[in-house]
Each structure stands twice: as structure tokens, then as C-alpha cells.
Amino acid sequence: MELKDKVDSLYVATCGNRITAVGTLLYANMVYSFVNHDDLWLNIVSSCGGAIGGYLVGITVAGISTWKHYKRTLKEGKKNKEIEPTFFEERIKKMNKKYIGYCQTQGLYLGAKKTGNLETFYEAKKEFSNNIIPNF
């Protein structure tokens, strides 16, 4: 695995999923505040943000599901230049909830974007997904 692939994978796991990215930033802010500031109130507020950040990272399982679906989509894209709509359909149907399944869908979105299959992804998402969180 090349360095570029490792950096892409790290990006997808930490920043590709926006919920994980926000959680990581909130948690990092808490750590920074404790290390560099002695102000009690600032540390209390930062602790609350850090708790929320830790929760967000926890519920997204640190972006692992996003990363797994991204890798599956890349693998499918290498195997078949044009990814079949059924590939996206099968995965989207498994996570067909209003709020649950965003992380996996974000991984599919990032993989489709990288392989040039965004139109196929959007068609499958529009037809089969009930998730209301936007993919970007």
C-alpha cells in the first residue's frame, strides 16, 4: 500500500465522515484546553465539548464503517469500471433507517466519487435510501 493510499484511508476514516470529524475536533479541543489553559470555566466548557466529541466518535465507531464501505466501493470500481446500481442498492437497503446508515452511505459516496460513479450512487440513494443526512 502506497503512502497516498494510506493518507486517503486516514482521511476517509477521520474527515470523510463529517460526524466523526466534528467529534474528533471537539475532543482534540478539550485536550488542547487542558494542556494549555488554567482557566476553570474554559476547561469545564471544553470538557462538555470533549464529552460530546467522544460520544460522536464512539457512535460512528471512529469512522471504521465509512472506511470499510469506501474500500469495498474502490474494490468494486477496480473490478468493474462502471459499478452496477445493484452494488449500491444492496448496501443501501441494509441500512435503510432515517438516521442510521449515514456512515456507511458516506463511505459508498466517497468511493463512488473516487471511481467516477457518482451518478449511479445518487440514483440508488434517491430510490432506496430513507436516510435524511446529506452526503457531501
Looking at residue 107, its pLDDT comes to: 94
Residues of the chain under the 70 pLDDT cut = 1
The domain ranges of the chain are: 18-59, 62-128
Nearest partner of 92 among 81, 82, 102, 78, judged by Cα: 102
Looking at residue 114, its pLDDT comes to: 94
> Whole-angstrom Cα distance, residue 57 to residue 54?
5
Virtual torsion, Cα 61, 74, 72, 106, nearest 10 deg = 40
> Whole-angstrom Cα distance, residue 98 to residue 119?
22
Specify the pTM: 0.85
> Whole-angstrom Cα distance, residue 25 to residue 33?
12
Distances (CA, A) of 113 to 33, 70, 77, 118: 37, 10, 10, 5
For the stretch 28-50, pLDDT in tens is 999 999 899 889 999 999 999 99
Looking at residue 127, its pLDDT comes to: 92
Nearest partner of 70 among 5, 1, 3, 125, judged by Cα: 5
Looking at residue 123, its pLDDT comes to: 94
For the stretch 10-19, pLDDT in tens is 899 888 989 9
